[in-house]
Amino acid sequence: MTLRYLTAGESHGPALVGILEGLPAGVPVDLDAIAHQLERRRAGHGRSPRMKFEADEFQVLAGVRHGLTIGSPVALVIHNTEWPKWTEAMAVEAPEDPEAVAQTGRGRPLTRPRPGHADLVGMQKYGYDEVRNVLERASARETATRVGLAAVARGLLDQLGISVLSHVVRIGEVAVPEDAPPPGPGEQERVDDDPVRCAEGATSERMQERIDRAKGERDTLGGVVEVVAYGVPVGLGSHVHWDRKLDGRLAQALMSIQAFKGVEVGEGFRTAEVPGSKAHDEIVASEGDYRRLTSRSGGLEGGITTGEPLRVRAAMKPLSSLTQPLRTVDVETGEEAQAITQRSDVCAVPRAGVVAEAIVALELADALLEKTGGDSLDEVRRNLEAFLGSLPRAAEPSANARAAEPSADDRAAERPADDRAAERPADDPA
């Protein structure tokens, strides 16, 4: 791994902390850009009250001077607005009167673990008799740090012409049409302006209605987000070892986001339903380069980027904190009980898309630096340009060969009518 990051901090502790190691010197760092990414993470229809007052005030403590990285680790701290209310319940030093703290609202033991959360398994693994020490770290509040660190790493991607964006494609049973194309480069602001960050207007309205209904039913909803990266060069990742395949690295990183339970690259799950003739991206020579006619592989083949836009989807389950809690067991008494309730979103999918976007950006930056090496941005740029310049140009077929070769339309015409009707257009990016 070339680019490494580490996060620390609890949901109601004094702050969240992150360290990003491996960025070359000379990468621009824009504090406004970091603040913007943190703000995007707090947005979305169905958010909890905490998102309205958690300001995500942050500081860059190290690794940056005069707006540029200096090659050393970048340190970031995000202060928790609510910390003054939790100074006793989350104090580092042992309280003088533990019983008095335990009698306060925030300090009382939480002994009714939530189904679907890390509560019970965390207690069992670490030997706790209540869930506070587990839920504080397992909380999705931690993702603010990763979004902040990714905003720094995106400075590198921006300099090399790589853009990463996300949008919501499903909330509950409401999904965008299968043939709807993803938003293109430069369309992230348009997506963010939508209350559920959906690029398809009619579907967005139905998603919002579904969230409102779930709120009235005191329930929660999950969904699916898609991350698309444009300008990704060919050759990132590798086919030679399992842990260097970029699709595997992306899947692991995305699955590390709280409540995420599934990942597909391109049309991963759909390709399992169709024959091979409809599962792969045909290759053509175009202006001295190779390109794919479709995007079923999501821009990754054999664990290596193809140079086409990268597309990956991730599924998020409904949140486990419900205002109408599920059945559990009180670990103190052994009796049946209702799970604890914590302040929670009805649907966190819109803002989870921003987190997924950040994770993909971090993994792409890592894979890029693994490919190029370099201690400075100029060196990284030179190395990338040298690699891309060394790629052999695609040989254009001769005029006779082009005339003899059947066209895509001709090949389609030879297939049964039912088969042709079921196939997507060759230029459909979805």
Number of domains in the chain: 1
Is the residue at 77 inside a domain? yes
Query: Who's near 24: CB < 8 A, 6+ residues apart?
Result: 69, 71, 156, 369, 374, 375, 376, 377, 379, 380
Both tokens of 116, joined, read 């679907």
Burial profile 253-281: b = 16 or more Cβ within 10 angstroms, e = fewer: bbeebbbbeebbbbbbeebeeeeeebbeb
Is the residue at 178 inside a domain? yes
At 19, which amino acid appears?
Answer: I
Question: Are the beta carbons of 301 and 307 closer than 8 angstroms?
Answer: no
Is the residue at 391 inside a domain? no
Is the residue at 392 inside a domain? no
For residue 428, the model assigns a pLDDT of 46
Is the residue at 397 inside a domain? no
What are the φ and ψ backbone dihedral angles of 311, each rounded to 5 degrees? -130, 130
Please write down the HEC assignment for all residues of the chain. Answer: CCCEEEEECCCCCCEEEEEEECCCECCECCHHHHHHHHHHHCCCCCCCCHHHHCCCCEEEEECEECCEECCCCEEEEEECCCHHHCCCCCCCCCCCCHHHHHCCCCCCCCCCCCCCCCHHHHHHHHCCCCCHHHHHHHCHHHHHHHHHHHHHHHHHHHHCCCEEEEEEEEECCEECCCCCCCCCCCCHHHHHCCCCCCCCHHHHHHHHHHHHHHHHCCCCECEEEEEEEECCCCCCECCCCHHHCHHHHHHHHHHCCCCEEEEEECCHHHHCCCCHHHCCCCEEEECCEEEECCCCCCCEECCEECCCCEEEEEEECCCCCCCCCCEEECCCCCCEEECCCCCCCCECHHHHHHHHHHHHHHHHHHHHHHHHCCCEHHHHHHHHHHHHHHCCCCCCCCHHHHHHCCCHHHHHHHCCHHHHHHCCCCCCCC
pTM metric for this prediction: 0.90
* Dist. CA 131–CA 122, nearest whole Å: 8
Q: Residues within the annotated binding site for FMN?
A: 137-139, 258-259, 302, 317-321, 343
In order along the chain (430 residues), what is the average pLDDT of each group of 10 residues? Answer: 93 97 98 96 73 79 98 97 93 90 88 95 97 96 97 98 98 95 95 96 97 95 98 98 97 97 96 94 93 95 97 96 91 95 86 97 98 97 97 75 53 43 42
- The CATH number of the domain holding residue 350 is 3.60.150.10
| Range(s) of the domain holding residue 267 | 4-379
CA atoms within 13 A on the CB side of 352: 34
Is the residue at 352 inside a domain? yes
Classify the phi-psi angles of 218: left when phi > 0, otherwise alpha if psi is within -120 to 50, otherwise beta. Answer: left
Is the residue at 24 inside a domain? yes
Question: Are the beta carbons of 22 and 53 closer than 8 angstroms?
Answer: no
Is the residue at 425 inside a domain? no
User: Quick one: 401 exposed, middle or buried, by C-beta within 10 A (0-12, 13-18, 19+)?
Assistant: exposed
Q: Residues within the annotated binding site?
A: 41, 47, 137-139, 258-259, 302, 317-321, 343
For residue 405, the model assigns a pLDDT of 54
